[in-house]
């Protein structure tokens, strides 16, 4: 029996770079969040390869797969119980890359932090201190909150399976860039395969690397590998190995954290948005109006990178002059974003205005493309939020729409902001998520927390 090991991967919020992240010309700022997907793995030697994945928090949360190690279908996961395209693709990609010669019965237990899904109030009231709450419905029927649960799942299962078969390839992965890159590329291929399309990949990258400046890979390097049905098993396995080990992905994943004293505050609006429809509408606008859309995207990219540059300046000030930095943060706690936009404190003024410039670009896209990226209802919520002391600025994260808002706030003002929001009719329906920004992505976990 192999050692039992555990890993976790975070959810994400795309703070700056929505839509532009689809184009490798541009970079985006992706924030890793404290909501994590966990995988505990253990295997025993056997005369056949089976992988059972249990998710005890959800009804019908068991998926079983088998795989042959020889022949035309070698390494291809075959569903034996229930269907989960993300697990099936991940297992197929991993076994194809590893090309194991020994059989195992492998069990993987998945735990999901509460923030990934809408919670059952009855369950929360019954077990308020429990970390992993249960659901009465299958996972497919439990609403998600848009934090990247599928990307976190694929990434953490990738790390778990790779560590089982090839522990030397995941040794010290938190400090070993080569090991992290390998996990990242495998997870990107698996996630694209499961979705049957090649997305931007920022959610997978953040699940692996944490909070980052991200520039996507060129989609063409994946070729037809997202459709493994087109290949005989051994041929597919060889192509996967070449893609992972010998191909320049050209991706950017530079670490970046929030400066001390600043935090993200995520608000769930529960409005419901169809991200694929939003994206297709914007891409059609870009196709129909190439010159105008390039102008808008160039201005929006300048605003996005301006925000990143300002956060770097905050970090450097904190390191070089902590006393002055503390006075800056104190002013951020006292004033609202609206007030900071005319502040004498230059850094805070520029930071507040950078959010205004990003929102201006998103509103322009909303008006000109017809996609509700920052619809009027979200504009009202963001405008009212920016009037609260301690709120520096905010945006609709990711592809935008009616789902959520993301605020940059003074850390010490979080509880005060929530109280003031509860008294504001325009903000009373916002559900503030119990989340914070984290620097790290994939992590090894202590098994005791799952006992």
Number of other CB atoms surrounding residue 200 within 10 Å: 24
Residue 201 covered by a domain:
yes
Residue 254 structure tokens: 């530079």
Q: Are residues 328 and 180 part of one domain?
A: no
Determine how many CB atoms are found less than 10 A away from the CB of residue 169. Answer: 16
Q: Tell me the C-alpha to C-alpha distance, in Å, between residue 193 and each of 45, 114, 177, 374.
A: 29, 27, 24, 30
pLDDT digits 0-9 by tens, 87-106: 999 999 999 999 999 999 99
Q: Name the residue range of residue 195's domain.
A: 2-255
Q: Token pair of 335, please? A: 């004033």
Q: What is the CATH number of the domain that holds 407?
A: 3.30.70.890
Residue 263 lies in a domain: no
Is residue 95 in a domain? yes
Instruction: Measure the CA–CA gap between 324 and 397, rounded to whole angstroms.
Output: 31
Tens digit of each residue's pLDDT (9 = 90 or more) over 119-144: 777 777 677 777 887 787 888 888 78
Dig out the tokens for 285 from the structure.
Answer: 């606008």
Specify if 451 maps to a domain.
no
pTM for this structure?
A: 0.94
Residue 440, in any domain of the structure: no
Residue written as token pair 């805070």: 348
Both 81 and 228 in a single domain? Answer: yes
**Model confidence band, residue 116 (pLDDT cutoffs 50, 70, 90):** confident
Instruction: Let me know if 221 is exposed, middle or buried by CB neighbors in 10 A (0-12, 13-18, 19+).
Output: middle
pLDDT tens-digit profile of 176-224?
Answer: 899 999 999 999 999 999 999 999 999 999 999 999 999 999 999 999 9
Per-residue pLDDT, 4:
92
Total structural domains in the chain? Answer: 2
Per residue in 395-419, is it b (16+ CB within 10 Å) or e — as a string?
bbbbbbbebbbbbbbbbebbeebee
Q: How confident is the model at residue 258 (pLDDT cuts 50, 70, 90)?
A: very high
| Same-domain check for residues 100 and 246 | yes
How confident is the prediction for the chain on average, in pLDDT? 93
Pairing, β 404-410 against β 391-395: antiparallel
327-333's contacts with Cβ under 8 Å and 24+ in sequence apart are 329/260, 329/261, 329/262, 329/410, 332/261, 332/262, 332/390, 332/392, 332/410, 332/413, 333/389, 333/390, 333/410, 333/412, 333/413
Asked whether residue 272 carries a pLDDT value surpassing 70, the answer given is no
My answer on whether 248 and 284 are in the same domain is: no
Indicate if 57 and 16 belong to the same structural domain: yes
Q: Nearest Cα to 4, choosing from 50, 40, 49, 57?
A: 40
Query: Is residue 444, in this structure, part of any structural domain at all?
Result: no
Are 8 and 58 in a shared domain?
A: yes
pLDDT over threshold 70, residue 271: no
pLDDT of residue 392: 98
In a domain, 262, yes or no: no
Computed from CA positions of residues 286, 20, 140, 381, in that sequence, does the dihedral angle turn out positive or negative?
A: negative
pLDDT in tens, 3-47: 899 999 999 999 999 999 999 999 999 999 999 999 999 999 999
Strands (E), 46-117: 49-54, 62-67, 78-81, 104-112
In sequence order, the 6+-apart residues with CB closer than 8 A to the CB of 442 are 7, 8, 9, 155, 156, 159, 173, 174, 180, 183, 207, 208, 209
Tell me, what DSSP letter sits at residue 388? S
- What CATH number is given to the structural domain containing 115? 3.30.230.10
Whether 107 and 189 map to the same domain: the answer is: yes
Q: Are residues 315 and 232 in the same domain?
A: no
Residues 155 and 192 in one domain: yes
Query: For the chain, first and last CA: distance in Å?
Result: 19
Beta bridge partners of 213: 29, 254
Query: Which residue in this structure is represented by tokens 């195992």?
Result: 104
Whether residue 300 is contained in a domain is answered as yes
Tokens of 346: 């230059």
- Give the domain-ending residue among 255, 278, 295: 255
3-state secondary structure of 377: helix
User: CB 313: neighbour CB atoms within 10 A?
Assistant: 15
User: Percent of the chain scored above 90 by pLDDT?
Assistant: 82
Return d(Cα 121, Cα 62) in angstroms, integer. Answer: 24
Same domain, 58 and 14: yes
The pLDDT of residue 28: 98
| 7 close to 152: Cβ distance less than 8 angstroms | no
Q: Please report the sign of the dihedral spanned by the C-alpha atoms of residue 67, residue 73, residue 76, residue 81.
A: negative
d(CA 147, CA 116): 6
Same domain, residue pair 177 and 50? yes
Say whether both 286 and 237 belong to one domain: no
Angstrom distance (rounded) from CA 37 to CA 51: 19
């Amino acid at each position: 029996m192999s050692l039992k090991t555990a890993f976790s991967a975070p959810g994400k919020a795309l703070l700056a770079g929505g839509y532009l992240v689809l184009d490798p010309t541009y970079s985006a700022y992706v924030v890793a969040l404290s909501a994590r997907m966990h995988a505990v793995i253990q295997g025993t030697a056997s005369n056949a390869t089976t992988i059972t994945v249990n998710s005890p928090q959800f009804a019908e949360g068991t998926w079983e797969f088998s795989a042959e190690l020889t022949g035309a279908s070698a390494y291809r996961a075959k569903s034996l119980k229930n269907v989960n395209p993300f697990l099936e693709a991940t297992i197929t990609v991993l076994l194809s890359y590893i090309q194991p010669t020994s059989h195992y019965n492998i069990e993987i237990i998945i735990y999901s932090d509460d923030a990934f899904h809408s919670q059952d109030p009855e369950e929360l009231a019954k077990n308020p201190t429990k970390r992993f709450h249960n659901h009465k419905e299958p996972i497919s029927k439990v609403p998600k909150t848009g934090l990247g649960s599928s990307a976190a799942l694929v990434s953490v299962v990738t790390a778990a399976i790779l560590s089982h078969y090839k522990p030397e390839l995941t040794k010290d992965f938190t400090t070993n860039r080569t090991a992290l890159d390998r996990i990242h590329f495998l997870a990107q291929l698996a996630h694209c395969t499961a979705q049957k399309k090649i997305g931007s990949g920022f959610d997978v990258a953040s699940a692996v690397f944490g909070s980052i400046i991200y520039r996507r890979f060129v989609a063409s390097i994946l070729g037809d590998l997202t459709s493994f049905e087109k290949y005989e098993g051994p041929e597919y396995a060889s192509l996967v190995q070449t893609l992972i080990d010998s191909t320049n992905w050209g991706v950017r994943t530079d670490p970046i954290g929030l400066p001390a004293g600043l935090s993200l505050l995520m608000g769930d609006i529960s409005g419901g948005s169809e991200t694929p429809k939003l994206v297709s509408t914007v891409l059609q606008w870009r196709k129909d109006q190439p010159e105008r859309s390039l102008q808008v995207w160039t201005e929006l990219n300048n605003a996005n990178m301006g925000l990143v540059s300002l956060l770097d300046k905050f970090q450097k000030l904190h390191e070089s002059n902590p006393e002055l930095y503390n006075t800056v943060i104190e002013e951020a706690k006292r004033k609202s974003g609206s007030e900071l936009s005319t502040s004498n404190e230059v850094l805070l003024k520029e930071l507040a205005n950078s959010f205004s410039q990003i929102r201006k670009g998103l509103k322009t896209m909303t008006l000109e493309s017809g996609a509700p990226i920052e619809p009027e209802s979200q504009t009202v919520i963001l405008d009212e939020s920016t009037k609260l002391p301690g709120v520096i600025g905010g945006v609709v994260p990711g592809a935008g729409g009616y789902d959520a808002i993301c605020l940059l706030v003074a850390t010490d003002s979080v509880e005060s902001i929530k109280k003031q929001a509860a008294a504001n009719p325009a903000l009373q329906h916002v559900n503030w998520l119990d989340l914070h920004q984290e620097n790290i992505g994939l992590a090894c976990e202590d098994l005791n927390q799952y006992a």
